[in-house]
């Protein structure tokens, strides 16, 4: 029998702040109404991939490798779908967030390891978001030394003193700009036969730079903070095991939607920029891919969407991280609390924003390079969180009869092993080149 564990501490405040528009209720409907009642956490978690890191990484992938690495996208789609489904299932069956389950099952020491990985990965992602803000606004002229501090201060003040809900809706609508890539793929008229073959024909590159780019694609598509956000969101909505089919559908929709956008970004940039001699080093370079759709408005359109996606993610990531860390260790948390009431929460939240902004302000820091490098780090750290998740989701004490079936374990462990193998090959090839062996 499935057993719902008692919550040692509420993991609800983060989601009340991030998702006020999603009411806390149990769904007892059928058909479309039931799905609409459950829908939300998986879709939002999936859409998180279309942020500054995703947009820049997919653009660079298409511009530098053409369609040759497009086969990576179906792999990351499956990986993201599996990870989101497991997160939703654990949240529904246990009623707890991922950090709480790690602490309860592995103890404080391993929780510390998991939280350090989360902090490092999310700090890297936050750097990418502020780099996205700077890159977007530099298209219009203002220096990053003016725009980044202003945006960082506005984000901090917004969450501490304002209402996140309104801004979330505004910037989610701004991100719709990237639907233009779907239109663009038909405007530029690629060879769809080549696109189809590239999607199903694996091609392992020999260049370390392309291996690194593959890992960056994995890291930007399957990001650790998605799992913590989604699992706590499902638990906060009060969804239970009886809604598992609908929760799976929500997770699959989120995984498919974000990767469909990613595939079209790669196709458009591959057709318009690959082989043109243009290397994407600025947001303006990346915006050239939208010229066939938007003409002279391409740069403004790209900047508008990139800025919105970056600010939205830069608001969510430090909040999610601070709540996950504090509630994993039983520390007070909440943006409504004073610094002396929740010093770790407020300190970590503020420090993440400060670090993200300061790294981008280092003189001479290449913005697109910083974004892609941050996704490399995410990809390298990703297997650690996936291993925790796989151990937890296969624990009958937590999941009862809802543990992974054998086929899902084989697939999940296989994909996790693939990321580890790519990382080892990358380190090996880099070391060999450094030692002069190749």
Taking the C-alpha atoms of residue 209 and residue 64, their distance in angstroms, rounded to an integer, is 10
88 touches 236 (CB < 8 A): no
Judge whether residue 297 has pLDDT over 90: no
Q: pLDDT tens digits, residue range 196-255? A: 999 999 887 777 788 888 888 998 888 888 888 788 777 766 666 767 777 778 788 888
188 touches 272 (CB < 8 A): yes
Torsional sign, CA 11, 342, 388, 359: positive
| Residue 389: band (very low, low, confident or very high) from pLDDT cuts 50, 70, 90 | very high
Q: Span 306-326, mean pLDDT?
A: 85
Torsional sign, CA 98, 99, 101, 106: positive
Q: Which one-letter DSSP state was computed for residue 404?
A: P
Taking the C-alpha atoms of residue 57 and residue 78, their distance in angstroms, rounded to an integer, is 19
Taking the C-alpha atoms of residue 323 and residue 233, their distance in angstroms, rounded to an integer, is 12
pLDDT of residue 225: 82
Alpha carbon distances (Å) from 16 to 165, 316, 329: 10, 12, 20
Percent pLDDT > 90 in the chain is 29
Q: Does 13-435 carry CATH code 1.20.1260.10?
A: no
pLDDT of residue 171: 55
pLDDT of residue 48: 65
pLDDT of residue 33: 38
Mention every residue, 6+ apart, whose C-beta is less than 8 A from residue 276. Answer: none
Taking the C-alpha atoms of residue 174 and residue 303, their distance in angstroms, rounded to an integer, is 10
Cβ neighbourhood burial of 102 (10 Å; 0-12, 13-18, 19+): buried
Question: What's the predicted TM-score (pTM) here?
Answer: 0.83
86 touches 345 (CB < 8 A): no
35 touches 252 (CB < 8 A): no
Q: Span 129-153, mean pLDDT?
A: 92
- 334 phi-psi bin (left φ>0, alpha ψ -120 to 50, beta other): left
Helices (H), 343-366: 343-360
Q: pLDDT tens digits, residue range 9-44? A: 444 444 444 444 333 433 333 443 333 444 556 666
Average pLDDT over the chain, rounded to an integer? 81
Helices (H), 40-107: 41-47, 52-65, 72-94, 98-106
Q: What is the DSSP string of 234-301?
A: HHHHT--GGGHHHHHHHHHHHHHHHHHHHHHHHHHHHHHHTTTT----SHHHHHGGGHHHHGGGHHHH
pLDDT of residue 5: 41
| Residue 409: band (very low, low, confident or very high) from pLDDT cuts 50, 70, 90 | very high
Q: Which one-letter DSSP state was computed for residue 175?
A: G
| Residue 373: band (very low, low, confident or very high) from pLDDT cuts 50, 70, 90 | confident
Judge whether residue 419 has pLDDT over 70: yes
List the domain boundaries for the chain: 13-435
Q: Span 288-317, mean pLDDT?
A: 82
Q: Which residue from 221, 219, 223, 225 is spatially nearest to 320, judged by alpha carbons?
A: 225
């Amino acid at each position: 029998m499935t057993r719902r564990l008692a919550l040692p501490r509420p993991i609800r405040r983060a989601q009340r702040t991030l998702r006020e528009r999603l009411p806390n209720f149990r769904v007892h409907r059928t058909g479309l109404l039931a799905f609409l009642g459950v829908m939300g956490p998986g879709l939002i978690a999936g859409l998180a991939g279309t942020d500054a890191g995703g947009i820049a990484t997919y653009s660079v992938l298409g511009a530098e490798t053409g369609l040759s690495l497009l086969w990576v996208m179906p792999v990351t789609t499956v990986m993201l779908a599996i990870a989101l489904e497991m997160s939703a299932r654990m949240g529904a069956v246990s009623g707890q967030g991922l950090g709480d389950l790690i602490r309860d099952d592995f103890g404080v020491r391993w929780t510390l390891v998991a939280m350090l990985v989360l902090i490092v990965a999310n700090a890297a992602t936050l750097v990418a978001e502020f780099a996205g803000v700077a890159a977007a606004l530099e298209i219009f002229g203002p220096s990053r030394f003016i725009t980044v501090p202003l945006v960082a201060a506005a984000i901090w003040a917004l969450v501490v003193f304002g209402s996140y809900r309104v801004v979330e809706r505004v910037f989610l609508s701004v991100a719709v700009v990237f639907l233009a890539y779907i239109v663009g793929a038909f405007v530029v008229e690629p060879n769809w036969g080549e696109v189809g073959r590239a999607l199903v024909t694996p091609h392992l590159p020999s260049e370390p730079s392309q291996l690194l780019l593959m890992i960056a694609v994995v890291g930007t598509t399957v990001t650790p903070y998605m799992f913590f956000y989604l699992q706590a969101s499902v638990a906060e909505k009060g969804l239970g095991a009886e809604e598992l089919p609908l929760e799976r559908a929500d997770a699959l929709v989120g995984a498919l939607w974000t990767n469909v956008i990613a595939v079209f970004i790669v196709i458009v940039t591959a057709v318009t920029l690959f082989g043109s001699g243009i290397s994407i080093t600025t947001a303006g370079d990346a915006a050239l891919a939208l010229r066939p759709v938007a003409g002279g408005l391409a740069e403004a359109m790209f900047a508008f969407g990139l800025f919105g996606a970056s600010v939205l993610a830069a608001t969510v990531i430090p909040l999610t991280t601070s709540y996950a860390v504090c509630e994993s260790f039983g520390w007070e948390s909440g943006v409504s609390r004073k610094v002396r009431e929740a010093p770790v929460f407020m300190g970590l939240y503020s420090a993440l924003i400060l670090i993200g902004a300061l790294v981008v302000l280092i003189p001479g820091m290449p913005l697109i390079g910083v974004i892609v490098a941050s996704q490399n780090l995410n990809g390298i750290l990703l297997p650690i969180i996936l291993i925790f998740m796989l151990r937890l989701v296969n624990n009958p004490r937590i999941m009862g009869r809802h543990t992974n079936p054998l086929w899902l374990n084989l697939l999940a462990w296989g994909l996790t092993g693939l990321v580890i193998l790519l990382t080892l090959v990358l380190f090996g090839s880099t070391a060999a080149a450094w030692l002069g062996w190749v």
